[in-house]
Structures are given as structure tokens and as C-alpha cells.
Chain A
Amino acid sequence: MEIIECEGLGVTYPGGVEALKNVDLTIEDGDFVIVVGLSGAGKSTLLRTINRLVEPTTGTIKVDGRVINNLDKKELKEYRSEVGMIFQNFNLVNRSSVLRNVLAGRLREVPTWRTLLGLFPEEDVEEALSCLERVGIKEKADSRADELSGGQQQRVGIARALAQEPKILLADEPVASLDPPTSHAVMQDLKRINEEDGITTLVNLHFIDLAQEYGEKIIGLREGELVYQGPASEVTEAKFEEIYGRSITADDQLTAGGEADV
């Protein structure tokens, strides 16, 4: 069953930059999809359009059979709560505790008067703690977010997204700020959650070895156009060169010495 269907999806930013051009895309429920492409190819825009942090200019996006282009404000918040997002820079509040950061994932489940007073019901706190437990950092719940290492901070980000009990997880370059061993650990966490919970997961990556190792399916974007969509096993180096529009270099591989922050 398809969970995400994009038809003729296009995004033009106010400056006139065409970030996505006429993208037709289907993603099956429970898929683990890696989106590859050079920086500026539209990977991030694609993810952000799916949860409407970026407004589509043309085309439609259907999620779970429902068109999400024209949701009203309330519907949009409701919809976003079903889509977890993980960010390259973690986007945690550094000065707040880990638990408080994860509780942000419960905002939609709890009435606003309670969230504003910080009075989360016991079961929501339990839920947040169990999400932390799933990524192996429950004991850090009371630490300040900025006391954690990069890999741990990204796990807080994953726990926050999990706390939303999402149908879809969007991870925008989740390992680009991490060192190679930590990158693998975070990718394994994402993969494990996908397998255990069956949450459809889209991950933006620019390292082709990571994409091949973890991806079941691969989506290739080049200058805003969809140039590949298919099983990861069928993606050859030649195919990557086509997606990237140039020959593959060491910088495109995590293990071959490509540095994290490019």
C-alpha cells in the first residue's frame, strides 16, 4: 500500500529558485528509503515539503490516501504530529533537559494549558522515557541537552520524533554532523526502529556507501528532478554517477575518508 504519493510536485522558492521540478514519487508503507543527491539537489526540500514546512508550488502530495496540500491550520498541526522529523543539527533546546526536549514530541497529545504549565500527564512522561530507552539513553533524561555528545544528541532527536508515535519519519541528513562510527550507530537505530515499528522512513544522505548499506530503496534527485527510484540493490556506481552528474570521489563515501561536515 502506498503511504506517500507525490504527483507533479514542484517547489519554487520566493527568490525564484526551482528546488523541485515535477516530481512523481510513490513510497510504500513501511519502506526504508534513502534520498541521495548532491547538496542543492532538492533532498531537503522534498522532506520539508512532505511535512509542509515548505509549501508546494505545484502538484499534489497524498499521504495515507489524503491530499495534504490544503489542510487548514488545525489539520496541519494534527498531520505534522503524525510525521516525525530528525534534523542534521538535532535542533534541540540546548539549555533544556533531555526529557523536556523529548516531551516536545507529545505536544499534540496533551492540551495546550497543560503543556504551557509543564504539567504533562504521567503516561506521556512514561512514553517519553520509553522512547529514550529505545535509543539507549534513558539514563540521560535529566541531563541538559548540550552536555551530551553529538551522537547522543541525535538520539534525543530520534526519541523526540518517536514520542510523536509517527506514521512517517523524515530524517534530513541525520548523520552529516557526526563522525563515521556514530553515523553507523545512528543509521542502525533508524533502521531498527523502521523494522520493529514498521514506520515508513525517509533519510537524506549524501554518502553513497551509507545509502547502499542501509537503504532498501533509493530515490535519486538531481537539480530538483527525480532521476532514480528503485531498489538499493540495483544502484550501481554508474547509476550514482548519473545521479550526481559527475564521477564519484572519496568525499562521497563515509568510509573512504569523506569528512562529516562538507
Chain B
Amino acid sequence: MSNSAAEEKPSRFMLVMGKIKGLLAIILVAIIYIWSARGVGFSLIEIIGELPSFFNLLWDMVPPNWAYSIRLINPLLETFQTAIAGTILGTLLAIPLILLCASNVNRNNPLYFASKGFMNLMRTIDPMLYAAILVAGVGLGAFAGMLALMFFSMAVNAKLTSESLEAIDDGPLEAIEACGGNKLEMIKYAVAPQILPTFASYTLYVFEINIRASTVLGLVGAGGIGVNLDTSLNLFRYPNAAMVILATFVVVVLIDHLSNVLREELV
């Protein structure tokens, strides 16, 4: 006997309905796109019209001002110091938040939901927005940038790592509980060994994001190489701007690659 009822060919009606659904979906996406494009004033004619001046700008950037590169060493260093300090502080702050945001470690429901809410709230804010707010609060400069990356790192790391933490094997946690171990001992002997490689990998990942973010923090006055880019563009010193972009590109690619290699070693 065949189980024909389940495997019966879909009827003509169902086929037609499927096609109509697909068509409706395409129309819907098209409508949303047109609405968005009109909102930003998108126009092909304008793009074509602006092409010459765009090429002029590129032309003005060539050759980059190689001599300017020497004056970029300190801003570049500051940029990466911002990223490193922000990542380290954010990671330290993330540790308690990770533990509070994992339901298998934090069994106090109200505290768990409060922590998760806090973490999600902190995560909705982009590092540039943090930087803009913090510049207003603590003044222009790399310190504001570092604080911005700190908050951002904390929230992102807490989100990623706490989700992985909730998926670890709970057996060892139960074993420590059954031995009469306390919460801290459970964390040290059952949680940490399981989550540390993942945590380290996410920390490097956040560091990579921070390195990239740190290069543009200067656009809102939060220090680093972005300040030089902002100034060069505002003063129409395009060869200088080209040098900034080139230097940033080279160093970011290098660090990204290094971090990637490290990360692969960990997993």
C-alpha cells in the first residue's frame, strides 16, 4: 500500500496559489525599495551627472602625499591604543554580564531578565553614536572614543558569549553542585573551562570590529586617525586624505589578518 494521501501531487489550485504568492512577494519588495529610494533621493541621472566630479576627486587624490605618512604614525598609534584599551576594558566588564545573562549560571529569574534587558539596550547603540554622546560628555579626544568602544565591546561580547554559554554541557555544572561546590567554584571548575576558548575567540572578533570602528571615531571628534581624515577632507587636501585612507587600509588589513590567524588557532 502506498501512503498516497501524503504524497499526492499538489493540486493545480495549490500550484497557482504558490505562483501568486511569489509574485506578490516580488511586488512587495519592489514597493518597499521604491519607497526607500525616493526617501534618499536616489536618481540614476544624478549618479551619471556626478560621475565627472567624482573622478575629479579621485584624480586630485593621486598621488597620495607620501610625506604626510610620517605625521600619521602617532594618530595611527592612538587609534589602535583606543581600540585595544576599549576592547580590554569592555571585555572585563563583559565577564560579569555574560554570567548574569546565561540562564544556566544565573538561576535568579528577575536578575536574569534585567541583565538581558540591559545588555540588549546597550547593544542597540552603535559605537559612533556612543562616541558622539560621550564627546559631549567627557570632551573631544581619544578618551571618549575608548569609552565608546568599551560600552560597545561589553554589550556585543556579552551577547555573543552568553548565548554560547547557554549552550554548554550542563552536566559538569550539576556535578559541581552535587559535590557541594558554591557558585564561584561552579564557574571556575565547570563553566570557565568550557567557555574560555569561545570567549577568547569572540573577544578577538570584537577587537577586529573595534579596530575598524576606531579609524572613523575621529569623524565625531573622538580621536584617532579619523581626525586627520576629517581635517584633510574639510580643507580639500585630497592627497593627504588619500594617504590617510591608504595607511588605515594597510594597517587594518594587517591587524585583521593577525587576529584571524589567532582566532583560528583558538577554535
Residues of A bordering B, CB below 8 Å: 51, 53, 76-81, 83-85, 87, 89-96, 100, 104-105, 107-108, 112, 115-116, 157, 160, 164
Q: In the complex, are the beta carbons of A77 and B176 less than 8 A apart?
A: no
Q: In the complex, are the beta carbons of B179 and A90 less than 8 A apart?
A: no
| Interface-side segment among B81-89, B133-141, B167-175, B253-261 | B167-175
Q: In the complex, are the beta carbons of A77 and B178 less than 8 A apart?
A: no
Q: Would you list which residues of chain B between 128 and 184 have a CB under 8 Å from chain A?
A: 169, 171-172, 174-182, 184
Interface SS, B side? helix
Q: How far is it, in angstroms, between the C-alpha of A84 and the C-alpha of B190 when the chains are bound?
A: 17
Chain A residues with Cβ below 8 Å from B179 are 80-81, 84-85, 104-105, 107-108, 160, 164
Q: In the complex, are the beta carbons of A53 and B177 less than 8 A apart?
A: yes
Q: In the complex, are the beta carbons of A112 and B174 less than 8 A apart?
A: no
Chain A residues with Cβ below 8 Å from B60 are none
The 8 Å CB contact of B175, one of A79, A81, A87, A94, is A87
A87-B171, A116-B184 given; A107·B189 CB < 8 A: yes
Q: How far is the CB of B193 from chain A (nearest CB, A)?
A: 5
A53-B174, A87-B175, A90-B171 given; A95·B193 CB < 8 A: yes
Kindly list 6 other residue pairs between chains A and B, CB separation below 8 angstroms, not including A87-B174, A95-B197. Answer: A51-B178, A77-B182, A80-B178, A84-B178, A104-B190, A107-B182
The 8 Å CB contact of B178, one of A53, A78, A94, is A53
The 8 Å CB contact of A104, one of B175, B182, B194, is B175
Q: In the complex, are the beta carbons of A104 and B193 less than 8 A apart?
A: no
Q: In the complex, are the beta carbons of B193 and A112 less than 8 A apart?
A: no
Q: In the complex, are the beta carbons of A92 and B172 less than 8 A apart?
A: yes
Q: How far is the CB of A220 from chain B (nearest CB, A)?
A: 25
10 A-B residue pairs with CB within 8 Å: A51-B178, A53-B177, A76-B180, A91-B174, A91-B175, A93-B172, A94-B194, A96-B189, A112-B184, A116-B184
Size class of the B contact interface (CB-based, 8 Å): 20 to 34
A92-B172, A93-B190, A115-B188 given; A81·B177 CB < 8 A: no
Chain A residues with Cβ below 8 Å from B184 are 112, 116
Q: In the complex, are the beta carbons of B174 and A104 less than 8 A apart?
A: no
Chain B residues with Cβ below 8 Å from A51 are 178
Q: In the complex, are the beta carbons of B181 and A107 less than 8 A apart?
A: yes
Q: In the complex, are the beta carbons of B189 and A77 less than 8 A apart?
A: no
Q: In the complex, are the beta carbons of B180 and A112 less than 8 A apart?
A: no
A107-B189, A115-B185, A116-B185 given; A78·B180 CB < 8 A: yes
Q: In the complex, are the beta carbons of B178 and A85 less than 8 A apart?
A: yes
Q: How far is it, in angstroms, between the C-alpha of A250 and the C-alpha of B174 when the chains are bound?
A: 33
A93-B189, A93-B190 given; A104·B171 CB < 8 A: no
Q: How far is the CB of A140 from chain B (nearest CB, A)?
A: 17
Q: In the complex, are the beta carbons of A89 and B171 less than 8 A apart?
A: yes
Contact with A along B34-75 (1 / 0, CB 8 A): 000000000000000000000000000000000000000000
Smallest CB-CB A-B distances: 8 pairs: A81-B180, A91-B171, A80-B180, A91-B175, A85-B178, A77-B180, A107-B181, A108-B180
Q: How far is the CB of B96 from chain A (nearest CB, A)?
A: 15
Give A118's nearest chain B residue, CB to CB.
B188
Give B197's nearest chain A residue, CB to CB.
A95
Give B168's nearest chain A residue, CB to CB.
A93
Chain A residues with Cβ below 8 Å from B176 are 104, 107
Chain A residues with Cβ below 8 Å from B177 are 53, 80
Q: In the complex, are the beta carbons of B194 and A95 less than 8 A apart?
A: yes
Chain A residues with Cβ below 8 Å from B189 are 93, 96, 100, 104, 107, 115
Give B170's nearest chain A residue, CB to CB.
A91
Q: Which of B175, B178, B194 has the most CB atoms of chain A within a 10 A radius of its CB?
A: B178
Q: How far is the CB of A246 from chain B (nearest CB, A)?
A: 30
Q: Which of B169, B171, B179 has the most CB atoms of chain A within a 10 A radius of its CB?
A: B179
The 8 Å CB contact of A112, one of B169, B172, B182, is B182
Q: How far is the CB of B215 from chain A (nearest CB, A)?
A: 36
